[in-house]
Amino acid sequence: MARPPQTSPLKPRKQPSQPRAEKTVAALLEAAAQVLERDGLEGFNTNAVARRAGVSIGSLYQYFPGKDALILALMRREGERFYAEAAHALDMPTGAEGLRALIAAAVRQQLERPTLARLLDVEETRPALRAEKEGGVLERVLQQILERPDLPRQLDVALAARDLMAMVASLTDTAGEHGELDVPHLERRIHAAMFGYLDRMESPLP
Amino acid sequence: MARPPQTSPLKPRKQPSQPRAEKTVAALLEAAAQVLERDGLEGFNTNAVARRAGVSIGSLYQYFPGKDALILALMRREGERFYAEAAHALDMPTGAEGLRALIAAAVRQQLERPTLARLLDVEETRPALRAEKEGGVLERVLQQILERPDLPRQLDVALAARDLMAMVASLTDTAGEHGELDVPHLERRIHAAMFGYLDRMESPLP
Amino acid sequence: MARPPQTSPLKPRKQPSQPRAEKTVAALLEAAAQVLERDGLEGFNTNAVARRAGVSIGSLYQYFPGKDALILALMRREGERFYAEAAHALDMPTGAEGLRALIAAAVRQQLERPTLARLLDVEETRPALRAEKEGGVLERVLQQILERPDLPRQLDVALAARDLMAMVASLTDTAGEHGELDVPHLERRIHAAMFGYLDRMESPLP
Amino acid sequence: MARPPQTSPLKPRKQPSQPRAEKTVAALLEAAAQVLERDGLEGFNTNAVARRAGVSIGSLYQYFPGKDALILALMRREGERFYAEAAHALDMPTGAEGLRALIAAAVRQQLERPTLARLLDVEETRPALRAEKEGGVLERVLQQILERPDLPRQLDVALAARDLMAMVASLTDTAGEHGELDVPHLERRIHAAMFGYLDRMESPLP
DNA sequence: CATGAATGAGGTTTCATTCAT
DNA sequence: GATGAATGAAACCTCATTCAT
């Protein structure tokens, strides 16, 4: 039976220090991603992940205290993949260019593995995971960009950031779902929505 | 023994003919909605639904061949609730007003039971359900409105409708998730995004 | 949810690699046999088998995807038990002696666990199982014996083998059902029927 | 739930005296036969029978106190159908002719609805039913025939009758299973087995 | 450390039977 | 009588997790 967990159910169990361990963890994460993509949330289970990783179920539990920890780690992995590109947006000379760079990064990430990205987004709202997941990189970067002087001033920057993030995610998600491949066209539509939103929501100077 | 299922796992099993049965079905649907809201997708199971409906598990299976049929029926119920308001948008004199009416309806629906709406949106993308669910009312109404002459002409109306729908859904979803109650403000932001998108994506006259 | 079964409902799920597992599988098979004997087909269910095997229901499903797989495996087990004796019949110098040996083996097998043998015979005709079960050893051995020159020549050897098998099975079954213990007497009656049949059905030389 | 039955679970509940009731009972029995033929023992259930009979499940329970009573009644129906032909065998001038007539009747009955006959045979051995079912007509008729002077004298007539019955049943069953249609040929084989058996088991005069 | 066998709570689903209408 | 909605025990089966080897 599922006894009460003896360790935090979400923190990774051990830092893989040896290279072999690191490879196992990586294999498990990639397997988790693939199972999620192939079988969806309802087909996602620890046995399937271990099997696909070519690792015993016991080993999975060596590195992850449970199913949710696996998902959380996957979220972090994808978050970090994204960070490399997203941070770069802050170096842009203008806010508009930064925003474009951010959109490009988000679109690229989302379209690369659309199903995975979508399902992780869904999981992200589960209370159990939401608590653990630290506030997204995107959110913080986006807020900074929105404060650049060349962009229309927003009354509530955090709110605007939330709205824009939701829009980027949903537009790329549906594009991904429908198999769109024309990235520039998708970016144009996202720009339209975002800059349209920012312009029309511009707050008069105080 | 594991017999192959004798009915489709999605089509309702029998339509209630007596009023007592109709009440049972209604109770089951409402219970399904409440379980979804309270416990999320992972807490959603047939036992919980039957219990909350105050009905035996056997009765549930008289009318629904399983979980997914329940969700599908719930989608249809909400879809019909929405239809009353949405169809009304076509009566508006201008496209802009129609669009506003549509947004208002969507926002009202989504904010009334935000969690339910959100989870049904999520489920809607599951391949198993997506196949069954007939194309949404919203989609058809929206396409008609977008063809009104006062709105910026779009090159691909179906694509625009899809994008707008995604945006409305995501903006109201996140608003709902964050407990926003200021409906007019939310509507303003949605208008900003949608009209901004339409303006900037306007296609030159042929 | 009712997912379509991911494995054939008849093929064993995994072959036990560790000796512990092998013991479990053996215990399950023997338990299946005993449940069948004690409670008949209508009392035969996976829970009862697992309980009697002293094994959790989960373990049963590790090795057998369901009831039918268990029955099929049991058939094979009994088939193999029989094979040791039956093959031996081919070593006999004459067809008559071979036939007698075969009958003796069949009778011994059937009377050892008469109920089990009978119920497996019944199950063997279920379409679902019949497809899987490879043509019996007995059938092939019997056909070879019937071609020996000292036995009356049959027009259709396969048909004759089928008839004889049916007769042996039914005579031993009823004997078993009625608690007969006098093996030699039973064998005499079977000989009478079989040699009587063969003599009277002898086909004239071509 | 299945409460302890308040009436004997096997005796018909009411004698259908009105013609409408008689029609309902007949429809239920024929439906039971068809369900058995189509879906086998594991697909046989009261709801399916009622549905196929075009009768409510409640009505089924008006006339039959339970599933087993239905099966028992079906056995009796088939038994009576058989009796008409079988009794006739006693009118034959010689035992041999009587035996032939009996075989012919048995073969005709079994081949007419082979699956039904087979499954009823199987059910007949269930302890619950066996207790209720009065000793077969065939058995008594056969014993009388075996005592005719022109047939080889048997030491234990009851035993011989049992053996012969088993043989007839199994030979016709397998023939039926394999779709044989050549009735005369099947009868020849059965004669061979039966007269062969009787000849060889003839007991010396006391 | 790795393995994979074992566990069993808890989910899904059926179906014999009852009973209110 | 006839109907069919309702019931719930009991079957089926999965999968997160533990633990002996």
Q: Tally the domains of chain A.
A: 1
Would the pLDDT of B6 be above 60?
A: no
Q: List Cα–Cα distances, C163 to A88, C188, D55, D62, D181, in angstroms.
A: 83, 18, 42, 44, 15
Measured on CA atoms in the order A199, A201, A202, A204, is the torsion positive or negative? positive
Upper half-sphere CA count for residue B206 (Cβ side, 13 Å): 3
Specify the higher pLDDT residue, B1 or A198: A198
CA A61 → C1' F19, Å?
12
Greater pLDDT, A8 or A55: A55
* D80 and D127 co-located in one domain: yes
Task: Determine contact, residues C59/C24, Cβ cutoff 8 Å.
Answer: yes
Question: CA torsion sign, C123 to C129 to C134 to C135?
Answer: positive
Say if CB B161 and CB B147 are below 8 A apart. no
d(C-alpha C114, C-alpha C176), whole Å:
5
Q: Judge whether residue B181 contacts strand F, using its CB and a 7 Å cut-off.
A: no
C161 plus C127 within the same structural domain: yes
pLDDT of residue A73: 95
pLDDT of residue D1: 37
CA of D69 to C1' of F1 (A): 20
pTM of the entire predicted model: 0.88
* CA-wise closest residue to D194 among C147, C163, C187: C163
Determine the 3-state secondary structure of D91 from DSSP.
helix
From C106, C117, C113, select the one nearest C186 (Cα to Cα).
C106
Residues 7-66 of A with CB under 7 A from strand F: 9, 42-48, 57-58, 61, 66
**Greatest Cα pair distance in chain A:** 62
Please check the confidence at residue D12 and state whether its pLDDT lies above 60: yes
Residue type, C102: L
Q: Is any atom of nucleic acid chain E found less than 7 Å from the CB of residue C62?
A: yes
Closest-CA residue of D relative to C154 is: D189
Query: Residue C61 has what pLDDT?
Result: 96
Helix B46-53 / helix B19-39 crossing angle, nearest 10 deg: 120
Q: How far is CA D83 from CA C114, D115, D133, in A?
A: 31, 19, 15
d(Cα C20, Cα B4) in Å, to the nearest integer?
A: 33
Q: How confident is the model at residue B135 (pLDDT cuts 50, 70, 90)?
A: low
- pLDDT band at D157, cuts 50/70/90? very high
DSSP result, D144-170: HHHTSTTSPP-S-HHHHHHHHHHHHHH
The pLDDT of residue A132 is above 60: yes
Q: Is residue B33 part of a domain?
A: yes
Please tell me the predicted confidence (pLDDT) of residue D87.
85
Question: End-to-end CA distance of chain B, in Å?
Answer: 65
Report CA-CA distances (Å) from A150 to A91, A94, A95, A145, B81. Answer: 15, 7, 6, 10, 44
Own/partner pairs for D146-150, CB < 8 Å, 24+ apart? D146/D95, D146/D198, D147/D95, D148/D94, D148/D95, D148/D98, D149/D95, D150/D94, D150/D95, D150/D96
Kindly state whether residues B123 and B85 are assigned to the same domain: yes
DSSP-derived secondary structure letter, D93? S
Residue B184 belongs to some domain of the structure: yes
Q: Assign residue D23 the CATH number of its domain.
A: 1.10.10.60
Instruction: Identify which has the larger pLDDT, C57 or B136.
Output: C57
Residues B80 and B171 in one domain: yes
Q: Convert the pLDDT of each residue in B89-100 to its tens digit.
A: 899 999 999 999
Structure token pair of residue A146: 């929105």
Q: What is the identity of the amino acid at A79?
A: G
E-strand spans in chain C?
none
A 42-71: CB within 7 Å of strand E: 55-59, 61-62
Give me the amino acid identity at B27: A
Res. B7 pLDDT band, cuts 50 70 90: low
Q: Which of B65, B97, B123 is the last residue of a domain?
A: B65
C-alpha span between C33 and C18 (Å, rounded): 23
Q: Examine residue B190 and state whether it is found in any structural domain, yes or no.
A: yes
Interface test with B, best of A37, A39, A122, A139 (most B CBs within 10 A): A122
Q: Are A97 and A109 in contact (CB under 8 A)?
A: no
> Model confidence at D11, in pLDDT bands (50, 70, 90)?
low
Which residues of B in 45-104 have their CB below 7 Å from strand F's atoms?
Answer: 55-59, 61-62
D148-160 in b/e burial notation, b at 16+ Cβ within 10 A? beebebbeeeebb
Nearest residue to E3 (CA, C1')? A56
Averaged pLDDT, A166-194: 92
Helical H segments across B13-150, by residue range: 19-39, 46-53, 57-63, 67-88, 95-112, 114-124, 127-132, 137-146
B14 domain-assigned: no
pLDDT of res. D151: 96
Angle ∠(B49,B52,B53) on CA atoms, nearest 5: 85
The yes-or-no verdict on residue A1 having pLDDT over 50 is no
Q: Are residues B168 and B103 in the same domain?
A: yes
Instruction: For D14-28, write each residue's pLDDT tens digit.
Output: 565 677 788 999 999
Residue B57 CB closer than 7 angstroms to strand E? Answer: yes
What pLDDT is stored for residue C56 in this prediction?
Answer: 97
Beta carbons of A196 and B191 less than 8 Å apart: no
CB of D155 closer than 8 Å to CB of D206: no
Nearest to A107, CA basis, from A166, A159, A178, A171: A171
Q: Are residues B94 and B29 in the same domain?
A: no
CA Rg value for chain A: 19
Tens-place pLDDT, residues D62-83: 999 999 999 999 999 998 888 8
Straight-line distance from CA C62 to C1' F15, in Å?
11
B39 phi, psi to nearest 5 deg: -115, -5
| D157 interfacial to chain C (CB closer than 8 Å) | no
Q: Which residue has the tokens 């609805």?
A: D113
Q: Does residue B87 or residue B64 have the better pLDDT? A: B64
Q: Which of B42, B44, B24 is nearest to B33 (CA)?
A: B44
Q: Which two tokens stand for residue B104?
A: 């208002």
Please report where in the chains the tokens 């489920």 appear, as a residue.
Answer: B123
The residue range of the domain holding C23 is: 19-65
Report the interhelical angle of B67-88 vs B114-124 (nearest 10°): 110
- Shared domain for B85 and B166, answered yes or no, is yes
Q: How far apart are CA A26 and CA C131, in angstroms?
A: 44
> Tokens in use for A73?
């780690």
B117 and B168 share a domain?
A: yes
Question: CA nearest A196: which of D101, D135, D111, B167?
Answer: B167
Torsion of CA B88, B90, B94, B97, to 10 degrees: 40
Q: Which two tokens stand for residue A37?
A: 């993509």
Same domain, B56 and B86: no
Decide if C3 is inside a domain: no
Residue B106 tokens read as 């969507």
Residue C79 and residue C51 share a domain: no
Residue B12 lies in a domain: no
Domain membership flag for residue B9 = no
Per-position pLDDT tens, chain C of length 206? 444 445 677 888 888 778 888 999 999 999 999 999 999 999 999 999 999 999 999 999 999 999 999 999 999 999 888 888 888 899 999 999 999 999 999 898 888 898 999 899 889 889 888 877 776 777 888 999 999 999 999 999 999 999 999 999 999 989 988 888 899 999 999 999 999 999 999 988 65
**Is 80 exceeded by the pLDDT of residue A137?**
no
Is the CB of C68 inside 8 Å of chain B's CB atoms? yes
B124: its two tokens: 């809607």
* C36 plus C132 within the same structural domain: no
What are the angstrom distances between the C-alpha of B123 and each of A56, B116, D96? 32, 11, 74
Nearest to C35 by CA among C79, C65, C78, C70: C70
Tokens of A31: 């397997």
CATH of the domain at A88: 1.10.357.10
Residue B9 at interface with chain C, using a CB cutoff of 8 Å? yes
Chains D, A in contact: 3+ Cβ pairs under 8 A?
no
Count CA atoms within 13 Å of residue B112 on its CB side: 10
* HEC-encoded secondary structure of chain A: CCCCCCCCCCCCCCCCCCHHHHHHHHHHHHHHHHHHHHHHHHHCCHHHHHHHHCCCHHHHHHHCCCHHHHHHHHHHHHHHHHHHHHHHHHHCCCHHHHHHHHHHHHHHHHHHCHHHHHHHHHHHCCHHHHHHCCCCHHHHHHHHHHCCCCCCCCCCHHHHHHHHHHHHHHHHHHHHHCCCCCHHHHHHHHHHHHHHHHHHCCCCCC
Instruction: Please tell me if residue B61 touches chain C, with a CB cutoff of 8 Å.
Output: no
C106 and C24 inside one domain: no
Cβ(D101)–Cβ(D88) under 8 Å? yes
- Asked whether residue C83 is assigned to any structural domain, the reply reads yes
Tokens of D185: 């040929």
Contacts of A199 (CB under 8 A, 6+ apart): A152, B192, B196
CA-nearest of D128, C8, A128, C107 to B2 is C8
D window 50-69: Cβ near strand E (< 7 A): 57-58, 61, 66-67
**Sign of the CA dihedral A25, A27, A29, A35?**
negative
In this model, does residue A6 exceed pLDDT 50?
no
Q: How far apart are CA B82 and CA B68, in angstroms?
A: 21
Across all strands, nucleotide nearest A2 (CA–C1'): F17
Which chain D residues are within 8 Å of B1, Cβ to Cβ?
Answer: 42
Judge whether A1 is closer than 8 Å to chain C, CB to CB.
no
pLDDT-derived band of residue D131, with 50, 70 and 90 as boundaries? Answer: confident
